[in-house]
A = this chain, B = another copy of it.
């Protein structure tokens, strides 16, 4: 519950900070901007966890006691010191666009809204140093005139922050060329503040950054990042319809393998998903599955050649410049987790999974096994030098038991599921606690106050 009211809908967790501790914390904040107004606190205590009917139930009542919005790293350090002193939990937040409750405080306390740390430095050696709260789209806007752009971003590109992406995400658009955030070379450095009576600043470079990447802010407050970029080039948004989803899959795999076609996005959605894409200015035949692509201008001609070879029909084509000028919806907002969002806007009975498939044949087999309960959505990526077939399949939701059964069916058939219906880091994908992340939490958060409850492997010493 918020400090501002005792709304009965919110049950304050037993392990939430005491009122005297909170009062002392608030008194210590001084001029650091903060909000305890109920509406603000509730709004900033949520992310997009409601995609999951399970998380929606589990996290509905969670709320911070106060939202603190640091203006600088010095403010972050001051807040960390106060939290350590008064034993106040701290959950860091960027744009709040995560889907797993990454930014939802389970034990009240502080939500640290980092969207004020918006600095974007110059591009040096193809790398940019940015504040954790810089929006992805703003980074590109700043670096493109210098000839550089982000290598990868989530479909929430227009609202997400770089810090939130690195702390809570794993990859997305661009992954078909550069792999995911955990690939060596994707993150140059992270600068974090520890939660201690005397907070330290630690810079983690290269592979060391993986200690904090995708740890949901449980083992350090990211304040700055150094991100390697790619040379910028013009991109074209494209949608291609195929009467047969299996044929669309084969087209996407062939496109993914074609190193001579430069691309940023290779997505395949099965009918009737495209029926929900009402803002996409494309006329689709009934029953048609849809491929969604971002292709480099220099590669359009061979792309069209491949489309013709596989019998697809180009139904939409806009350059990134045209899309921006006309205020249209960029194609990536129909892909990755935005595909799910487009459906949820009109159908509350669906949810989704996240998984990997070893082959297109296995995609077809699972489709036959699950019938109308599943509609397929594939994302093609690079995974350490190989082509990866990832799925964010739409599931018609009945019960949690059935959802778990569907997950089991996937895993028994060799399709690992990165469960988006849990707020635990480990349950989402890795299954076991990353020892490097846990060890770093002992160093950066000895009191266990950073986003408590999210790293299940953590126990106080």
Which B residues lie within 8 Å of A260 (CB)? 151, 178-179, 183-186, 228
Write the nearest CB–CB distance from A318 to chain B, whole angstroms: 15
Q: Determine whether the beta carbon of A298 is less than 8 Å from that of B126.
A: yes
Mark out the residues of chain A between 230 and 263 whose CB falls within 8 Å of any chain B CB in the assembled complex: 230-234, 256-262
Oligomeric state, in number of copies? Answer: 2
> Contacts A125-B298, A301-B205, A305-B207 hold; do A385 and B257 have CB atoms under 8 A apart?
yes
Expressed in whole angstroms, the minimum distance between the Cβ of A165 and any Cβ of chain B is: 15
Contact of A179 among B233, B259, B301, B302 (CB under 8 A): B259
- Within 8 Å CB of A303, what residues of B? 185
Q: A379-396 toward B: CB 8 Å interface, digit per residue (1/0)?
A: 000101111000000000
Q: A126-B296, A177-B259, A384-B259 are in contact. Are A231 and B232 (CB under 8 A)?
A: yes
Residue in contact with A300 in the complex, picked from B125, B297, B384, CB distance below 8 Å: B125
Question: Contact: A298 with B233, CB < 8 Å?
Answer: no
Taken residue by residue from 218 to 231, chain A's Cβ proximity to chain B (1 for < 8 Å, 0 otherwise) reads as: 00000000001111
Q: How far is the CB of A126 from chain B (nearest CB, A)?
A: 3
User: Which residues of B lie under 8 Å from residue A301 when comparing CB positions?
Assistant: 188, 205-206
Within 8 A of B (CB), among A122-171: 125-127, 147, 151
Extra 18 A-B pairs, beta carbons < 8 Å, given A126-B298, A205-B301:
A125-B297, A125-B298, A126-B296, A151-B260, A184-B302, A184-B306, A185-B259, A185-B299, A185-B303, A206-B301, A207-B305, A230-B262, A231-B231, A256-B385, A257-B384, A257-B386, A259-B382, A259-B384
Contact digits for A183-222, partner B, Cβ 8 Å, 1 yes 0 no: 1111010000000000000000111000000000000000
Asked if A302 meets B185 with Cβ closer than 8 Å, knowing A126-B234, A233-B231, the reply is: yes
> Chain B residue with minimal CB distance to A256?
B385
Q: What would be 23 A-B contacts, judged by CB atoms less than 8 Å apart?
A: A125-B234, A125-B300, A126-B234, A126-B297, A177-B259, A178-B259, A185-B260, A185-B299, A185-B303, A188-B302, A206-B302, A207-B302, A228-B260, A228-B298, A228-B299, A229-B298, A230-B262, A231-B231, A231-B233, A257-B384, A257-B385, A258-B385, A385-B386
A385 to chain B: closest residue by CB: B257
Identify A185's interface contact among B206, B231, B232, B258, CB under 8 A: B258
Nearest B residue to A207, CB-CB:
B305
Q: Is the CB of A126 within 8 A of B233?
A: yes
